[in-house]
Amino acid sequence: MDELMYRSTRGRSEAVSSAKAIVEGIAPDGGLYVPDHIPAPFASLEEMLHLSYKELAYAVMKPFLPDFTQEELQDCLQYAYNDRFDTPEQVVLNEQGPVSFLELFHGPTLAFKDMALSVLPRLMTTAAAKTGIRQEIVILTATSGDTGKAAMEGFANVPGVRILVFYPKDGVSPMQKRQMVTQRGDNTFVIAVDGNFDDAQRSVKEIFTDPAEKERMLEAGYVFSSANSINIGRLLPQIVYYFRGYTEAVNHGRIRLGDPVTFSVPTGNFGDILAGHYAKRMGLPIDRLLCASNRNNVLTDFFHTGRYDSNREFYVTSSPSMDILVSSNLERLIYEITGENGARVEQYMKSLKDTGAYTLAEGVGALQNEFGAFYADEKETQETISYFFRKYGYVIDPHTAVAASCALREDLNPHSHTIIVSTASPYKFPKTILESLGATPPIDAWDQVQVLSIISGTPVPTPVSELNGLPVRHTAVCSVDGAREAVHETLGV
């Protein structure tokens, strides 16, 4: 039997098992690991209608993880999707007028990152044991706001792992920052970078792919890995909820089994939407995937022109987890467009690194059937928050609002029900929500949360209320070029 293996998008590293791809996080040649083919799920769509979320996750993920035993994967899922989610089936499909919202923010950190980052720690420690790794694993992660917290929550106090999180000092919301600097766990370390997310992500990637650095770490008894969506172990759990959104739409009677749907996805690093693309390739009837961006609209331009150009002003917006100009996971899609030509991908990525831009020789025509691309500016985002509240009494967060705004712009055609991927709880961004609703936000973040609760008639989620009063445990700051030193200092090497 041909066992599924993982190849690097840059074609110069060996194919590896799923366990190895997860432990390494990124291929030695600097590329990203991709499966050498897209397998079919272990259940039919019809069977999926009756599965629990964990069972569904097993049916979707297991074909990608041939070297994990049934028991091992079930154990990972059992551990991940526990009672720290405030809903028994982890995700909720919430219908509002002509569209549905796939709420993915019911986990411990109130962002969709929990869907994957609650699974990844067990996947990684299981994979490390399988591949005979004896060193301590050091997770290096750059965050645009939500990944860092969700990763630390997942990895806190996991034996044999340390996690270092770099976040842009002034580029996350006050609530996101508060969540990170109060993080518990003796194996968690948080460092503010005096720069933006792209600076943080670049520094981390450079440390990762430097062979001398790897050597130095090995000597000290450490190996690096990543909890960012460059890690294939992050992407696989994200494929699952596209199937879930679909089966829920069938179970709610919004569509019939086999009907196509459209997903609108608030996009930053292109991980979430890429998982949707994989779901489609696994056979899920997806008509279109809408790539929704905020004012940092480099992807919108890319899908319209075939030119990726990050040489533009960087804006700090009300949807900070999408304030990204270099979307790492796009490399995996580019690999497909080039006909899996690693050398070609390498050229594009070199051009991106050297000049900040590249133009696809292959063109984007083939992609335009599947991907629509739009962006919403700050005003449109606020108007969309206001629209859904006034019309349906439903409060959405700014990231979700970007996707909703873009979805409403693409003619909602009756043949294809639109599901908006809802990535964060509005309680992470109370100030923006109150402003959008025309209320004057109180200065204090806790007061904002209280007012939001009263206006929306929803209870304050526990992960927010319990932040109040937690001590600040992390205060480290480094310069844009100081990440490497910060890593050495933290690990004492």
Ligand X SMILES: *Cc1c(COP(=O)(O)O)cnc(C)c1O
Q: Which of 424, 437, 478, 487 binds ligand X (CB under 6 A)?
A: 424
Element at 417 (helix H, strand E):
strand 417-422
Return the residue matching tokens 């299981």. 126
Return the residue matching tokens 């630390």. 152
Residue 22 found at the interface with ligand X (CB under 6 A): no
Instruction: Produce one character per residue of 278-295: b if its CB has 16 or more CB atoms within 10 Å, e if not.
Output: bbbbbebebbbbbbbbbb
x/- mask, ligand X, residues 176-205, rule CB under 6 A, reads ------------------------------
Measured from the CB atom, is 8 or 238 closer to ligand X? Answer: 238
Return the residue matching tokens 């982890």. 90
- Secondary structure of the chain: what % helix, strand, coil (to 5)? 45, 15, 40
Task: Report in angstroms how near the CB of residue 374 gets to ligand X at its nearest.
Answer: 14
Q: Which residues contact 35 (CB under 8 A, 6 or more apart)?
A: 4, 5, 6, 64, 232
Residue 276 found at the interface with ligand X (CB under 6 A): no
What is the maximum alpha-carbon separation in the chain?
Answer: 63
Measured from the CB atom, is 107 or 342 closer to ligand X? Answer: 107
Task: Report in angstroms how near the CB of residue 183 gets to ligand X at its nearest.
Answer: 16
Measured from the CB atom, is 17 or 173 closer to ligand X? Answer: 173
Structure token digits, residue 349: 């990525």
Q: Which of 24, 103, 114, 146 binds ligand X (CB under 6 A)?
A: 146
- By the 8 A CB rule, do 415 and 258 touch? no
- By the 8 A CB rule, do 156 and 164 touch? no
Measured from the CB atom, is 111 or 279 closer to ligand X? Answer: 111
The residues pairing with 286 across neighbouring beta strands, listed in sequence order, are 261
According to CB under 6 A, which residues from 381 to 420 bind ligand X?
399
Q: How far apart are CA 403 and CA 401, in angstroms?
A: 5
Is 113 labeled as catalytic in the residue annotation?
Answer: yes
Q: What type of residue sits at position 288? A: R
Task: Report in angstroms how near the CB of residue 384 gets to ligand X at its nearest.
Answer: 14
Task: Report in angstroms how near the CB of residue 278 gets to ligand X at its nearest.
Answer: 13
According to CB under 6 A, which residues from 236 to 275 bind ligand X?
266-272
According to CB under 6 A, which residues from 111 to 140 bind ligand X?
111, 113
What angle, 0 to 180 degrees and rounded to 10, lies between the N-to-C axes of helices 483-491 and 197-209? 60
Task: Report in angstroms how near the CB of residue 402 gets to ligand X at its nearest.
Answer: 8
Measured from the CB atom, is 225 or 319 closer to ligand X? Answer: 319
Q: Which of 188, 423, 432, 448 binds ligand X (CB under 6 A)?
A: 423
x/- mask, ligand X, residues 95-114, rule CB under 6 A, reads ----------------x-x-
Task: Report in angstroms how near the CB of residue 117 gets to ligand X at its nearest.
Answer: 10
Return the residue matching tokens 């349906």. 392
- By the 8 A CB rule, do 224 and 138 touch? yes
Q: Which of 322, 345, 349, 408 binds ligand X (CB under 6 A)?
A: 322
According to CB under 6 A, which residues from 205 to 234 bind ligand X?
229
- By the 8 A CB rule, do 99 and 91 touch? no
Measured from the CB atom, is 19 or 421 closer to ligand X? Answer: 421
Q: How far apart are CA 344 and CA 412, in angstroms?
A: 37
Task: Report in angstroms how near the CB of residue 144 gets to ligand X at its nearest.
Answer: 6
Measured from the CB atom, is 58 or 112 closer to ligand X? Answer: 112
Per the residue annotation, which of 20, 113, 130, 280 is the catalytic one?
113
Q: How far apart are CA 173 and CA 468, in angstroms?
A: 16
Residue 321 found at the interface with ligand X (CB under 6 A): yes
Question: How many residues make contact with ligand X (CB under 6 A)?
Answer: 16
288 φ/ψ angles, rounded to the nearest 5 degrees: -135, 150
Contacts with ligand X, residue ranges (CB under 6 A): 111, 113, 146, 229, 266-272, 321-322, 399, 423-424
Q: Which residues are catalytic?
A: 113
